[in-house]
């Protein structure tokens, strides 16, 4: 894989990752007249839950559902420059033009005016866009296995790079797919967030993992994986190094976890063989997800990996893929119980979900 870094018209970084042997040099210039990026992100700590909330009002002006011929993630043409100056690309990563977190945000007072119990801080981190292919009409599940393998390497490299930035405490690669999820750009792409704090879900998972290890002397995810593989009723597919299963307490109407058989804290820790095996298994899972309702499934694919500085001996890397679609034409709404109290009600059992996906 060849890596080429450059700059966009407003100073943001763009990186090309080429996996085709005859890929041309990546030296195109961004010809757009863009003002310098000036994100004003901040975070505030909710005094009732002790959780950080991000504020990024500048994102209100971000690009929203443009027509296909004006897609900002497609390659540039002489009359239509985009976020990617080259006329073609394999995989491209660039700093988000409308980031939730960024390195250059200004300092702020340590508390909200008149509210000394509400801590406040700059939203210092980084947000990147990962374009999986230059083909606007494709999808992650339609990528060849070798391209998925390239994307895994890109996720791993960017995890290391973002984790080394000042203020970043956790790196989160993810993909949103489908209008039902809230996607505003249809080109196949994902994102990577470098958070300036450890996310609430990760904090909770590490706390539970620590308590389990204290009581049993073993990693929680390791025991879950062994039990799921032994039972088999919720296993969707498996390979030599990974297993995909519907968790026994699944929240979402469609939910699959892809878990490596070896405890590793994050993507950079995976071996070459583990990365190869993931690429093949993930494509199998995505094909089954799209076959569930005989239509492209809207989903979120979320990587759970260790924070940069804490809990690295407790975390167990895994990918969670879930969908809000409970039938071919009905959505699962996060209504009173889920949104108000955080108590989930699933309309199907995990065993039913897994059986349908296996079929």
Tell me whether residue 74 is annotated as binding.
yes
Residues 118, 44 contacting (CB under 8 angstroms): yes
> Per the structure block, which two tokens stand in for 73?
């993630």
Query: Other C-beta atoms within 10 Å of 39: how many?
Result: 24
189 is catalytic: yes
Residues in the chain, total: 359
Neighbouring-strand partners of residue 142: none
Is 136 labelled a binding residue? yes
187 is in an annotated binding site: yes
What is d(CA 142, CA 140) in angstroms, rounded to the nearest whole number? 5
**Six-digit token string for 238:** 């498996």
Question: Interhelix angle for 350-358 vs 272-292, to 10°?
Answer: 100
Do the beta carbons of residue 304 and residue 202 sit within 8 Å?
yes
| Active-site residue identified among 189, 241, 304, 318 | 189
Annotated binding site for Zn(2+): 71, 74, 136, 187
Query: Catalytic residue numbers?
Result: 189
């Amino acid at each position: 894989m060849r890596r080429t870094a450059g700059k966009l018209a407003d100073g943001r970084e763009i990186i090309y990752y080429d996996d085709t042997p005859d890929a041309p040099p990546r030296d195109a210039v961004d010809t757009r007249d863009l003002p310098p990026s000036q994100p004003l992100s901040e975070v505030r700590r909710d005094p009732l839950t002790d959780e950080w909330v991000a504020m990024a009002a500048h994102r209100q002006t971000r690009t929203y559902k443009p027509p296909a011929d004006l897609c900002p993630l497609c390659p540039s043409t002489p009359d239509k420059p985009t976020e990617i100056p080259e006329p073609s690309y394999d995989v491209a990563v660039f700093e988000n033009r409308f980031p939730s977190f960024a390195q250059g945000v200004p300092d702020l007072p340590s508390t909200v005016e008149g509210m000394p119990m509400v801590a406040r801080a700059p939203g210092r981190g980084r947000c990147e866009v990962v374009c999986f292919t230059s083909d606007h009409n494709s999808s992650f599940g339609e990528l060849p296995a070798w391209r998925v393998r390239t994307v895994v390497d890109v996720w791993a490299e960017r995890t290391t790079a973002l984790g080394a930035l000042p203020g970043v405490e956790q790196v989160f690669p993810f993909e949103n797919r489908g209008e039902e999820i809230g996607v505003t750009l249809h080109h196949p792409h994902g994102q990577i967030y470098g958070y300036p704090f450890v996310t609430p879900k990760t904090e909770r998972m590490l706390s539970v993992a620590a308590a389990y290890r204290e009581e049993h002397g073993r990693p929680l995810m390791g025991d879950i994986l062994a039990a799921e593989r032994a039972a088999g009723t919720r296993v969707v597919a498996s390979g030599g190094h990974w297993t995909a299963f519907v968790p026994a307490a699944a929240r979402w109407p469609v939910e699959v976890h892809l878990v490596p058989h070896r405890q590793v804290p994050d993507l950079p820790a995976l071996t070459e063989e583990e990365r190869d095996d993931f690429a093949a298994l993930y494509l199998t899972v995505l094909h089954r997800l799209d076959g569930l309702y005989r239509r492209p499934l809207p989903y979120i694919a979320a990587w759970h990996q260790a924070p940069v500085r804490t809990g690295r001996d407790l975390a167990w890397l895994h990918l969670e893929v879930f969908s809000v679609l409970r039938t071919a034409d009905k959505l699962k709404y996060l209504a009173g119980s889920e949104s108000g109290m955080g108590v989930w009600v699933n309309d199907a059992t995990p065993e039913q979900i897994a059986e349908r996906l296996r079929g």
